[in-house]
Chain A
């Protein structure tokens, strides 16, 4: 068992967003799952998480906010 793919500070990640506007960190070398769009194409882990912190302001699924 190697390092968890979400825990590598030196790796490159994406930020994914689904229809509920939930955000997910995502390893750049793993296929993007269905139902998710890429919000950040390739960035450092820290930059990705900073993006999430800035753009995801309400944890609740979007359908509940509408």
Chain B
């Protein structure tokens, strides 16, 4: 049978078959199968030469890295079994485990008393393994060191003369040989070493279908290296030719995980149920792109499972169950998102069996609770050097082949009729903490070894979050010991998951009538860590703030907390708050220990995510363990730029997930909006310029603003943000005609997956060498209008800093000028209802929201309901005098018409707005509605409007936050101006009160017909540019920003309004830019449109009672104006797909239908079913296109799905398109990624 093989033989086969394939990825290291196998073989020879024999146990003392894997494989190849000793375990425990396993040799880092063999031979090491920052372990032991020094060899088990190597120096083993020893908590007070044969590993992986054990699977290894789940991640990849990406460290770091998943295209992963819940709560983007996920260790939360599947409907999610004694999984269950209640543990995997038995070892009836006994290929030999414990847990089987054994799990389960197994609980005291098995007796044994602790009882309680924590109840003699001392004592010998969170002194422990500890009588909840009690961690509860400008300064250096805008962040204060949030503790002192307050590795992960979101820093898991207090962590959180102002922090997006607004823009970029979202801005001045300083300043600005060094990478058609640690934006230096240079450079098309979304051109006029033009070109996904003033200000500052004229740029960061907020806050804000005292004051709450947008989205059902109600039944497109010869899919080519209102007219409009409790925007909207009505738009007029989308947190951060709202108003020519203005105001007030609802959600909910080349729901857009103007300030120069148009239109018709105010705040005039698609409208019609708009705006203030259709001065429609039409009817499936598809392309139709069904999450898709009617949206269209391109080699784009939204139609379109010349979705570049502080 194929499963009966040795692990290393399967890996060697893969090395022979695909030697150059990447076996391992670890930080910057890549190791091919050939190199891995060669390194392991060399190591095996050295192990054999040093005296290791078949049947020995070799301790491998390394963190997760390529050397660890070389060590494991080399050990197996030498015929020995490996014991992984995680360096993160306490030293005492590592030593105890090595002793208990009677390991005589240690690979990797030395351990006292064990013969040390380095993984790599002296003198350079195996090719491909070495990397500058991988942990090296060159020890003193030369390869030919003679047999055992101080180490203890396993007595009685090694077989002298048998298998001590062949000519290859490696051992041909038996699948029954022990491959690994894994320790688990022991109920007798000492850990138990589970000795598992090769057969158990190989049988668990081979011929299985619960996960894809194939060569094209990319695994991410995040499980603790001492777990059996690590064997799954590692050998599940290496025995089958797949790639295993090794996450750094042994403690969960979802931020690092998410990056690795995105960067390496990870497709399969195992997560403990508690880590899974954390990821879903805090960082769901870490699952983006993943295909297969198994959750295990304990029962997963059904709510989290459902949320994950709702977010990633393509994810194949299984619940896995199995104790280490039966190797990784005994049963698995494919999760059905529609099912209610607890997630079942499923049915046995191939080669394994489960029996649910009663107290007489008889099978129980379906639905009756019994104890689970596991059998089959995964069963371990037993507990190493503990035959008695083995004989009571691995017992004779009445149900298998003669002589077979069962492993008695202690888990209580029941069968569902005809269905899977359901987990019920434990038959004994064992508890699971974050998926780790803990026998309370083992913890109790450690605690009672402490002076004055007479008795101890340990039980699992639940904390504020519902997570299980260990609570120790102690009977002590005399004065209770300090909790810190107890904790330190426990942590010195126990792994962190076994260290109790709380310590409660009790007079006595509850006993059963027979005198045993009555665990059920122990309290269930984890006590709140309160101060001034036995439980209190040491530390001053009164706030003290450490001066963060002095890294390493310790606890008591208190200063007053700074306050006010633009001051350094009180990093310690922020950390104290975050500690409290994560731990559910009301007040955290600067010197309170994270772990003393109940922190564990999962809450560390949670903390890290929040630190990144709040402070834009990634200290890494190790930093928190090394410095677990707010004061201690602060210098690590802000390493160089010790004090950064809140204002420059990017928005608290808790993920590498795109905001809805970014998703919208990313999608438009993908469907080839061309240049429409390229944002060029120009500065011109006379004087000197230092190009090198400017280039350095650009890099500094990009360093500072994350959005300027963020790539948007498509993973299976889904966008994921990838933040680069630093970038150097391009600055082209040109001597040439400024106008031509700028025009050409402004038409830059960014590849969002491959380059930072900012670049610049510096042009000097050869006829006038003192005249310079600086063109900054950005992609809208990284900046919006509100971003420009802070960005340009930072550029000015950085440039000055580079020139050395104004002190260091870092100082400048500390004292940010607060002026931008004040400027923006002036009168003409994007309309908000609070301008009118009579309107409901809902907006301030909305605009002051503190949650990031993705969170808001979840809680924004009321907003969505408003929009669905408000926009239901809206006509598709606006009836306007469109060109008769317009193409079906209009191009983005744009033209503009410019008009101006003078200061007097502007003043009259402002005054009119004031009289009606409206904003100038609402007056503009009224005027636009009147002109659209005059143009033939009919009585139901919708206008799109961008809103800033900024919160207090986003402040003046550089980024793309803009949302789009659709303003709908009833308009007839007979409406008096005043009445219409009232109506528009009321409609706008209500709409802006719901401006937080992402436009994408509204589109998804309304599901209007999608049309290629068109923005859904928004045909005509009105924008009031009320963001502050940017000014580039160079030494001696102040150059105002000029907007450069790219010639590409985002909308069919955009009315872009800029209003100006003089130094006293008085209205100084309005500029109107009408930008339109030339495919859609004729120039003379748009000239009329602009003239009519000016005429209406001019007439409004003095004609409040006049019907808007009868305002004076409004010109008639130009002669020959085409009739007003909305959109053409959508093509029907019949017209798209006329004939004969089934013949040649029937197979393709079926395959594409299958892709649709998969992406849409529906059972089947017919050839004429409409993609969008089935729940498709723009992002899903991108996914479909990506898969078609990958699997069929056709150059499909999302636009094709829009053009032909049925499978049959799409096949026809694709037949014309032909094969993909290149992948239509830009491939992600292999830019090296490093995370701060995560290196091992």
Instruction: Determine if B396 is an interface residue (Cβ-Cβ < 8 Å).
Output: yes
Contacting pair A5 B381 (CB below 8 A): no
Interface hub of A16, A20, A33, A34 (most chain B Cβ within 10 A): A33
Whether, in the assembled complex, B405 has its beta carbon less than 8 Å from a beta carbon of chain A, the answer is yes
Render A33-58 as a binary contact track against B, CB cut-off 8 A, 1 for contact.
11110000000000011101100111
A56 with B391: in contact, given A4-B359, A30-B361, A36-B403 (CB under 8 Å)?
yes
B residues within 8 A CB of A25?
391-392, 395
Q: Are B388 and A52 in contact (CB under 8 A)?
A: yes
Residues of A within 8 A of B369 (CB): 1
Chain A neighbourhood of B178, CB < 8 A: 60
B1112 at the interface (CB under 8 A from A): no
Question: Known contacts A1-B371, A35-B401, A64-B174: does B387 contact A6 (CB below 8 Å)?
Answer: no
Determine the distance from Cα of A2 to Cα of B359 in the docked complex, in whole angstroms: 6
B387 close to A53 (CB less than 8 A): yes
CB contact between A4 and one of B157, B174, B384, B427 (< 8 Å): that residue = B427
Q: Is the CB of B381 within 8 A of A59?
A: yes
Q: A35-B403, A59-B381, A59-B382 are in contact. Are A65 and B159 (CB under 8 A)?
A: yes
A3 and B371 alpha carbons, distance in the complex (Å): 10
- Which of A29, A52, A61, A63 interacts with B387 by CB under 8 Å? A52
Q: Does B402 contact A34, Cβ atoms closer than 8 Å?
A: yes
B396 — which chain A residues lie within 8 A by C-beta?
A: 16, 18, 24, 26, 32-33, 35-36
Is A22 positioned at the interface, with any CB of B under 8 Å from its CB? yes
Residues of B within 8 A of A32 (CB): 396
Q: How far is the CA of A19 from the CA of B97 in the complex (A)?
A: 31
Complex: chain B residue closest to A52, CB-CB = B391
Contacts of A53 in B (CB 8 A): 387-388
A27-B388 contact given A1-B371, A6-B408, A18-B396, CB 8 Å threshold: no
Q: Which residues of A contact B412 (CB under 8 A)?
A: 1
B55 touches A (CB below 8 Å)? yes
Instruction: List which B365-422 residues lie within 8 A (CB) of chain A.
Output: 369-371, 381-385, 387-388, 390-399, 401-405, 408, 410, 412
Q: Are A59 and B390 interface neighbours, CB within 8 A?
A: yes
CB distance from B427 to the nearest CB of A (A): 6
Asked whether A5 lies within 8 Å of B391 as measured between CB atoms, the reply is: no
Contact of A20 among B371, B393, B403 (CB under 8 A): B403
A53 to B383, CA, bound (A): 12
A53 to chain B, nearest CB (A): 4
Q: Give B360's nearest chain A residue, CB to CB.
A: A30
A49 touches B388 (CB 8 A): yes
A61 touches B176 (CB 8 A): yes
Docked-complex contact A59 and B408, CB < 8 angstroms:
no
Taken together as a complex, chains A and B put the C-alpha atoms of A65 and B402 apart, in Å, by: 20
Interface size on A, residues (CB 8 A): 40
Q: Is B358 an interface residue (CB 8 A)?
A: yes
| A49 lies within 8 A of B392 (CB) | yes
Q: Is B669 an interface residue (CB 8 A)?
A: no
The answer to whether B1211 has its CB under 8 Å from any CB of chain A is: no
Given known pairs A6-B392, A49-B392, the reply for A22 and B176 (CB within 8 Å) is no
Residue from A5, A18, A60, A61 within 8 A of B157 (CB atoms): A60
**A residues less than 8 Å from B124 (CB atoms):** none
Say yes or no: A35 contacts B402, CB within 8 Å.
yes
Determine the distance from Cα of A59 to Cα of B402 in the docked complex, in whole angstroms.
Answer: 19
Q: In the assembly, what is the distance between CA of A52 and CA of B369, in Å?
A: 31
Q: Once bound together, how far apart are the Cα atoms of A12 and B757, in whole Å?
A: 77
Contact (Cβ within 8 A) A64 B176: yes
Chain B residue numbers with a CB within 8 Å of A56 are 387, 390-391
Binary per-residue interface labels of chain B (417-439) against chain A in the complex, 1 for a CB within 8 Å, 0 otherwise: 00000000001100000000000
Q: How far is the CA of A22 from the CA of B412 in the complex (A)?
A: 26
Chain A residues, CB < 8 A from B393? 6
**Is B391 within 8 A of A24, CB to CB?**
yes
A24 in contact with B359 given A34-B402, A60-B176 (CB within 8 Å): no
Q: Say yes or no: is B758 at the interface (Cβ < 8 Å to chain A).
A: no
B399: nearest residue on chain A (CB-CB)? A33
| Bound CA–CA A29/B385 (angstroms) | 29
Asked whether any CB of chain A lies closer than 8 Å to the CB of B156, the reply is yes
* A4 in contact with B388 given A24-B396, A59-B381 (CB within 8 Å): no
B56 within 8 A of A: no
Question: B residues within 8 A CB of A23?
Answer: 387, 390-391
| Residue pair A57, B391 in contact (C-beta under 8 Å) | no
B371 partner residues in chain A, CB cutoff 8 A? 1, 4
Residues of chain A within 8 A of B408, CB atoms compared: 4, 6
- B195: interface (CB < 8 Å): yes
Minimal Cβ-Cβ distance residue in A for B412:
A1
CB–CB B358/A57 < 8 A: no
Chain A residues with Cβ below 8 Å from B387 are 23, 52-53, 56-57, 59
Residues of A within 8 A of B395 (CB): 6, 24-26
Decide: A58 and B156 in contact? CB cutoff 8 A: yes
CB nearest to B381 among chain A residues: A59
A26 to B394, CA, bound (A): 10
B390 proximity list for chain A (CB < 8 A):
23, 52, 56, 59
Q: Are A1 and B392 in contact (CB under 8 A)?
A: no
B177 is an interface residue with CB less than 8 A from chain A: yes
CA distance in complex: A17, B289 (Å): 51
Task: Point out the residue from B358, B385, B404 that lies within 8 Å of A35, measured CB to CB.
Answer: B404
Chain B residues whose C-beta falls within 8 Å of the C-beta of A20 in the assembled complex: 403
Q: Of A24, A30, A50, which is within 8 A of B405 by CB?
A: A24
Question: What are the residues of chain B within 8 A of A2 when measuring CB–CB?
Answer: 358-359
Interface string of B937-950 (1 = CB under 8 A from A): 00000000000000
How far is B388's CA from A15's CA once the two chains are assembled, in angstroms? Answer: 11
A65–B381 CA distance with the chains assembled, in angstroms: 13
Complex: A57 Cα to B388 Cα, angstroms:
10
Which residues of chain A are within 8 angstroms of B358 by Cβ–Cβ distance?
A: 1-2
Complex contacts, A52 vs chain B, CB 8 Å: 387-388, 390-391
| Distance (whole angstroms) from the CB of A20 to the closest CB of chain B | 7
| Chain A residues with CB below 8 A from B381, complex form | 59-61
Give the residue of B176, B370, B391, B399 whose beta carbon is less than 8 angstroms from that of A15: B391
Also in contact, A59 and B195, with CB within 8 A (given A5-B359, A6-B408): yes
Query: B359, A59: Cβ atoms under 8 Å?
Result: no
Residue ID in chain A nearest B368 by CB atoms: A1
CB distance from B1182 to the nearest CB of A (A): 53
Query: Quick one: which of B381, B396, B401 has the most chain A CB within 10 A?
Result: B396
- Write out the residue numbers on chain A whose beta carbons fall within 8 Å of the beta carbon of B156: 57-58
Q: What distance in Å separates the Cβ of B399 from its nearest Cβ neighbour in chain A?
A: 8
Q: Which residues B205-225 have CB closer than 8 A to chain A?
A: none
Residues 315 to 371 of chain B near chain A (Cβ within 8 Å): 358-361, 369-371
Residues 1137-1152 (chain B) with a chain A CB within 8 angstroms:
none
**In the complex, residue of chain B having the shortest beta-carbon distance to the beta carbon of A46:** B388
List A contacts of B391 (CB < 8 A): 15, 23-25, 48-49, 52, 56
A43 smallest CB distance to B (angstroms): 13
CB distance from A57 to the nearest CB of B (A): 6
Most chain A CB atoms below 10 A, which of B157, B390, B408: B390
A36: chain B residues within 8 A (beta carbon): 396, 402-403
CB distance from B1144 to the nearest CB of A (A): 60
Taken together as a complex, chains A and B put the C-alpha atoms of A65 and B174 apart, in Å, by 11
Whole-angstrom CA separation of A15 from B396 in the bound complex? 10
Q: Which residue of B lies closest to A22 (CB)?
A: B405
B153-196 to A contact mask, C-beta < 8 Å, 1/0: 00011010000000000000010111000000000000000010
Complex Cα distance, B405 from A56, in Å, reads 16
Most interface-central of B178, B384, B397 (chain A CB within 10 A): B397
The docked-state distance in angstroms from the alpha carbon of A16 to that of B371 is 21
CB distance from B119 to the nearest CB of A (A): 27
Please give me the 6 A-B residue pairs with the lowest Cβ-Cβ distance, nearest first.
Answer: A35-B402, A35-B403, A18-B403, A56-B387, A49-B388, A34-B402
A52-B391, A56-B387 given. 11 additional CB < 8 A pairs? A1-B427, A4-B359, A7-B428, A18-B405, A22-B403, A24-B394, A24-B396, A35-B401, A52-B388, A60-B177, A63-B176
6 A-B residue contacts at CB 8 Å?
Answer: A1-B358, A6-B392, A23-B387, A25-B395, A33-B402, A49-B388
